[in-house]
Amino acid sequence: MKILIVYYSMYGHVFQMARAVEKGVQSVANAEALLRRVEEFPENMAHIRESEHARPVWEDQEKIPVCSLDDLRTADGILFGTPTRYGNMAAQMKRLIDSTAQLWLEGTLEGKPAGIFVSTATTHGGQETTALTFMAPLLHLGMLIVGVPYSTPGMLHTEGRGGTPYGASTLAGSQNQLQPAPEDLEIATAQGRLVAFIASKLKTD
């Protein structure tokens, strides 16, 4: 059983969350975690190469394969990770979503469980709106949305960190200077585990 984790990350927060999600997927029997990044826009590369923060993150991720339509097609469950851009998913991720017309026609993604995990700069910067607006195209594609139940450890809190019922989340800080809280990473792991577990229950062949 293949569980795809596809993400975009410029400063590394969503990347760290993706690694935590991967750990959760790997904890489920017979689940193979496929980590894929979405393609960067060529016009961003100059900024990334010059930025002391973005460049090392890019160098860490460069070797991770870019997500293909076949990766989406063959996955039994998918977790999508994106930073917030004005309360929505990043355009790099939207480009992947908008390239799925053939999959929509084929109904390939119908009935597959999907989770979303996000990062914002600020506490009220749009974690929930990003996860919620991401759900719309996934529902058009027929996917089954998997959130994070409140019974997950670390979910019931009033602290300055992530953890939403719509999907795991973390805070990057206004200068991307923060690191994901340990609880944010644990919730991401729990979400990865849950998506993989549900996919294993749905798999018939």
Ligand X SMILES: Cc1cc2nc3c(=O)[nH]c(=O)nc-3n(C[C@H](O)[C@H](O)[C@H](O)COP(=O)(O)O)c2cc1C
Where on the chain is the footprint of ligand X (CB under 6 A)?
9-15, 83-87, 119-122, 125-126, 172, 176
Contact present, 10 and 181 (Cβ < 8 Å): no
Pairwise CA distance, residues 117 & 184, whole Å: 10
Smallest distance from the beta carbon of 175 to ligand X, in angstroms? 9
Nearer to ligand X, 108 or 130 (CB): 130
Structure tokens at 117: 């995990």
Using the CB atoms, write b or e for 7-32: b if 16+ within 10 Å: bbbbbbbbbbbbbbbbebbeebeebe
Smallest distance from the beta carbon of 93 to ligand X, in angstroms? 11
Contact present, 195 and 202 (Cβ < 8 Å): no
Smallest distance from the beta carbon of 55 to ligand X, in angstroms? 13
Nearer to ligand X, 45 or 140 (CB): 45
Contact present, 118 and 130 (Cβ < 8 Å): yes
Residue nearest to ligand X (CB): 125
Nearer to ligand X, 9 or 100 (CB): 9
Smallest distance from the beta carbon of 81 to ligand X, in angstroms? 8
Nearer to ligand X, 12 or 113 (CB): 12
Q: Helices in the chain by DSSP H: which ranges? A: 13-26, 45-50, 54-61, 69-74, 91-97, 101-106, 127-140, 182-202
Nearer to ligand X, 58 or 197 (CB): 58
Smallest distance from the beta carbon of 50 to ligand X, in angstroms? 15
